[in-house]
Amino acid sequence: MNDMSETAGGATTHTLTVTDNATGQRLELPVRQGTEGPRVADIRRLYSDLGIFTYDPGFTATGSCESKITFIDGDEGVLLHRGYAIEELAEHSDFLEVCFLLLYGHLPDKAEKEDFEQTISMHTMVHEQMRTFFSGFRRDAHPMAIMVGVVGAMSAFYHDSTDIDDPYQRMVASHRLIAKIPTIAAMAYKYSIGQPFMYPRNELRYAENFLHMTFNVPCEDKPVSPVLARAMDRIFILHADHEQNASTSTVRLAGSSGANPFACIAAGIASLWGPAHGGANEAVLNMLREIGSKDRIPEFLKRARDRDDPFRLMGFGHRVYKNYDPRAAVLKKSTDSVLDELGVRNEPLLELALELERIAGEDEYFQQRKLFPNVDFYSGILLQAMGFPTSMFTVLFALARTVGWIAQWKEMIEDPVQKIGRPRQLYTGEARRPFVPLDER
Ligand code: SDX
């Protein structure tokens, strides 16, 4: 029998009495309050004591774990990483500092920061043989397909950091993934445009190094624009982690079986690719291009409202945020200033997006369902202005989210309560029936 008191955090505030009216059986479920957010009813006894499963497709009201990494208040539009608001981190921190914060739970002091930056810089190269993987892909392969393949293959090269029970190997794997994911992402882009790969440079900072590997060529070594590097770093911060979203839950579930961290992150990349999740940033740009002009906005909003039409307004709505996504607010603000600094005047797609947001915001359908722009609504416009093709947008999301995935994976492995994830179901198929031989069917 599970020791139900075995929950590291959260104080039991009271109990929830459940009565099975079919049998009259009653059960007291402990209710716990965390630091912030809704209380949770610990239902682990429900099946063992009452023989009843819970049923919650899409996990709309189900906590899968206890976590100390990120907290979202969807009603208030609040996002905290280890207690620090995303707006403050985007304004005052940098991505590697946020990586340290997510991994280790506190902002690094000067020595810790320098040591972490040095460690990551020293791991940015990939095994030379990994370069041959790319030539197996068609040049027009979607870069997310390449990312899933190449990141998954890392477990074929870095055997000395696949033992998940060894804290040192877990740390090395975490550092390798954070350090090498930009190199692999840049290689996926270079391969798609037929340009040679660029090696990372140890003297460059993280986002600057990524832009160097992506946009520089061997025949000239242009310095990376500090404006672009700062914008890239901020975009990485805004995409770093987000509680138990679909791809993070995928990583946790894959990791709960003891799969190695590289395989788990590859699974997360695959899940993020979906247009309902991280693939939405690419889908937003494609949607804006399809809308084309402001006078066609009502036509697309009509389609979005039509339940018989599968079209949804990409970049709008969120499972948790029923208010403006704070990341979208930061991106919207920085898009303006970065376009300005890049000398991009009156970007038509930005004008169209702002008008779309204005009209949707006045539409009863969107108001009633509290559908606001999410992180993906403005990110693509900024990324396009920075020179990235639409097909690279979700790759950049995966690059940034790798630290969130690995921090959540590490927390899951180190959680004394964790066990292999194995959801149950409500079975509504056929009852047992005898086999029918072919000549009697
Ligand atoms: C990300 O989980 C995370 O944290 C994800 C993420 C992260 O950082 O990891 O924040 C990143 O994935 C952001 C979301 C990116 N996806 C999109 O922009 C795709 C468009 N959005 C929708 O597909 C949708 O809003 C979801 C998938 C994001 C959320 O879907 P839910 O929570 O399952 O909501 P729902 O489908 O139950 O919608 C509730 C109602 C429905 O209408 P009714 O049945 O009540 O009539 O709202 C409608 C939906 O039809 N609705 C939309 C809509 N989103 C929801 N209608 C039109 N356009 C939309 N975008």
Q: What is the DSSP letter of 154?
A: G
Separation between Cα atoms, residue 30 and residue 7, nearest integer Å = 11
Q: Which residue has the CA at smallest separation from atom 40 of ligand 1? A: 369
**Residue pair 261/164 in contact by the 8 Å Cβ criterion:** yes
CA angle, 139 then 247 then 375, to 5°: 85
**Residue pair 241/408 in contact by the 8 Å Cβ criterion:** yes
Q: What is the pLDDT of residue 188?
A: 98
CB proximity list for 312: less than 8 A, separation 6 or greater: 304
Q: What is the pLDDT of residue 9?
A: 62
CB proximity list for 434: less than 8 A, separation 6 or greater: none
CA of 316 to the centre of ligand 1 (A): 7
CA of 403 to the centre of ligand 1 (A): 24
CA of 382 to the centre of ligand 1 (A): 22
Q: What is the pLDDT of residue 344?
A: 84
Q: What is the pLDDT of residue 183?
A: 98
Separation between Cα atoms, residue 172 and residue 148, nearest integer Å = 20
Q: Which residue has the tokens 């190094």?
A: 209
In this structure, the number of other CB atoms found within 10 A of the CB of residue 6 comes to: 9
Mean pLDDT, consecutive 10-residue segments, the chain of 441 residues?
A: 48 93 96 95 96 96 97 96 98 98 98 98 96 94 97 94 94 98 98 97 97 97 93 97 98 98 98 95 95 97 96 96 94 86 86 95 96 94 93 97 98 95 97 98 97
Separation between Cα atoms, residue 152 and residue 238, nearest integer Å = 25
Site residues for ligand 1, CB cut-off 6 Å:
242, 245, 276-278, 280, 304, 307, 312-320, 369, 371, 374-376
308: annotated active-site residue: no
Q: Which residue has the CA at smallest separation from atom 55 of ligand 1? A: 317
Tokens of 342: 């890049």
Separation between Cα atoms, residue 52 and residue 66, nearest integer Å = 23
- Which of 250, 305, 374, 375 for mutating ligand 1's site (highest number of atoms within 8 Å of CB)? 374
Q: What is the DSSP letter of 60?
A: T
End-to-end CA distance of the chain: 47
CA angle, 113 then 117 then 121, to 5°: 170
User: Residue 185 — left, alpha, or beta (φ > 0 → left; ψ -120 to 50 → alpha)?
Assistant: alpha
CA of 318 to the centre of ligand 1 (A): 4
CA of 434 to the centre of ligand 1 (A): 43
Separation between Cα atoms, residue 317 and residue 56, nearest integer Å = 20
Q: What is the pLDDT of residue 297?
A: 97
**Residue pair 300/311 in contact by the 8 Å Cβ criterion:** yes
Separation between Cα atoms, residue 134 and residue 147, nearest integer Å = 10
**Closest by alpha carbon to 234, among 354, 327, 325, 341?**
327
Q: Which residue has the CA at smallest separation from atom 46 of ligand 1? A: 307
Identify the three-state secondary structure at position 14.
strand
In this structure, the number of other CB atoms found within 10 A of the CB of residue 70 comes to: 22
Looking at the CA of residue 369, tell me the nearest atom of ligand 1: 47
Looking at the CA of residue 248, tell me the nearest atom of ligand 1: 9
CA of 414 to the centre of ligand 1 (A): 32
Looking at the CA of residue 243, tell me the nearest atom of ligand 1: 4
Distances (CA, A) of 207 to 11, 80, 148, 234: 41, 22, 21, 9
Q: What is the pLDDT of residue 2?
A: 39
Q: Identify the active-site residue in 336, 376, 415, 439.
A: 376
Q: What is the pLDDT of residue 340?
A: 85
Q: Which residue has the CA at smallest separation from atom 12 of ligand 1? A: 277
Q: What is the pLDDT of residue 341?
A: 82
- Which of 248, 277, 286, 330 for mutating ligand 1's site (highest number of atoms within 8 Å of CB)? 277
Exposure string for 73-103, b = 16+ CB within 10 A, e = fewer: bbeebbbbbbebebbebbeebbbbbbbbbbb
Give the bridge partners for 70, in sequence order: 81
376: annotated active-site residue: yes
In a 13 Å sphere around the CA of 203, the CA atoms on its Cβ side amount to: 2
Q: Report H helices in 154-260.
A: 167-193, 206-215, 226-238, 246-256
**Closest by alpha carbon to 261, among 180, 155, 181?**
155
**Residue pair 403/98 in contact by the 8 Å Cβ criterion:** yes
CA of 379 to the centre of ligand 1 (A): 17
Looking at the CA of residue 325, tell me the nearest atom of ligand 1: 10
